[in-house]
Structure 1
Amino acid sequence: MAGSMRTIRMQIEYDGTDYSGWQRQPGEVLTVQGEIERVLRRITQEPVGIDGAGRTDRGVHARGQVASFTTGSPMPTSRLMHSANSLLPPTIRITSMRQAPESFHARFSATSREYRYFLVERPSAIDSRFAGCCHGKPDLFAMNRLATLLTGTHDFAAFSKESSDQHGTLCTVSEARWYRSGRFCVLGIEANRFLRSMVRFLVAGMIEAGMGRLEEEEFARMLESGCRPSDLKPADAAGLFLWKVRY
Structure 2
Amino acid sequence: MQKSRRYFIELAYKGTAYHGWQLQPNAIAVQEVLNKSLNIFFRKEIETLGCGRTDSGVHASQFYAHFDVEQDFSETDKEKFIRSINSLLPSDISVSQLIKVNNDAHARFDATLRAYQYHLHFKKDPFKTDTSWRIKDKLNLIAMEEAANIIKEYQDFGAFCKSNADNFTNICHIQKSEWEIVPNGLIYHITANRFLRNMVRAIVGTLVDVGKGKIEAQDLHQIIQSQNRSAAGASVPACGLFLTQVKYPYINNNV
Distance in structure 2 (CA, Å) of the matches to 1:56 and 1:64: 12
Match of 1:83 in 2: 84
Distance in structure 2 (CA, Å) of the matches to 1:235 and 1:82: 36
Within 5 Å, give how 1:198-217 maps onto structure 2: 198-217=199-218
Match of 2:127 in 1: 126
The answer to whether 1:3 aligns with 2:9 is no
- Specify which of 51, 54, 60 is matched with residue 53 of structure 1: 51
The answer to whether 1:239 aligns with 2:240 is yes
- Specify which of 35, 56, 63 is matched with residue 61 of structure 2: 63
Q: Provide structure 2 residue ranges, at least 5 long, that are not aligned to the other structure.
A: 249-255
Tell me the CA shift for residue 164 of structure 1. 4.7
Distance in structure 2 (CA, Å) of the matches to 1:17 and 1:81: 23
User: Across the two proteins, how many residue pairs are aligned to each other?
Assistant: 245
Match of 1:168 in 2: 169
CA shift digits 1:119-151 (9 cap, x unpaired): 112343221211112212311211111111111
Match of 2:31 in 1: 33
Could you tell me the TM-score, scaled by structure 2's length? 0.90
Distance in structure 1 (CA, Å) of the matches to 2:40 and 2:231: 46
Distance in structure 1 (CA, Å) of the matches to 2:203 and 2:232: 14
Match of 1:19 in 2: 18
Tell me the CA shift for residue 153 of structure 1. 4.5
Distance in structure 2 (CA, Å) of the matches to 1:170 and 1:108: 15
Distance in structure 1 (CA, Å) of the matches to 2:245 and 2:85: 22
Match of 1:110 in 2: 111
Distance in structure 2 (CA, Å) of the matches to 1:237 and 1:176: 19
Distance in structure 1 (CA, Å) of the matches to 2:185 and 2:105: 36
SS in 2 for 1:135: coil
Match of 2:252 in 1: none
* Cα distance change, pair 185–117 in 1 and its aligned pair in 2 (3 A): same
Match of 1:139 in 2: 140
Distance in structure 2 (CA, Å) of the matches to 1:52 and 1:120: 30
CA shift digits 1:185-207 (9 cap, x unpaired): 01110011101110000000001
On the 8 A contact 2:147/2:207 being kept in 1, the answer is yes
On the 8 A contact 2:58/2:240 being kept in 1, the answer is yes
Give the letter aligned to residue 73 of structure 1: Q
Distance in structure 1 (CA, Å) of the matches to 2:70 and 2:153: 42
SS in 2 for 1:201: helix
Match of 2:149 in 1: 148
On the 8 A contact 1:152/1:174 being kept in 2, the answer is no
Q: Higher mean Cα deviation, 188-197 or 136-145?
A: 136-145
Aligned-pair identity in percent equals 31
CA shift digits 1:213-237 (9 cap, x unpaired): 2222333211111124478321110
On the 8 A contact 1:152/1:172 being kept in 2, the answer is no
SS in 2 for 1:232: coil
Distance in structure 2 (CA, Å) of the matches to 1:163 and 1:87: 37
Give the letter aligned to residue 197 of structure 1: N
Distance in structure 2 (CA, Å) of the matches to 1:124 and 1:230: 32
Match of 1:98 in 2: 99
Structure 1 runs (4+) deviating above 4 angstroms are: none
Distance in structure 2 (CA, Å) of the matches to 1:220 and 1:21: 31
On the 8 A contact 1:116/1:187 being kept in 2, the answer is yes
Distance in structure 2 (CA, Å) of the matches to 1:13 and 1:147: 27
SS in 1 for 2:126: coil
Distance in structure 1 (CA, Å) of the matches to 2:115 and 2:153: 15
Tell me the CA shift for residue 3 of structure 1. 3.2
Q: Provide structure 1 residue ranges, at least 5 long, that are not aligned to the other structure.
A: none
Match of 2:42 in 1: 44
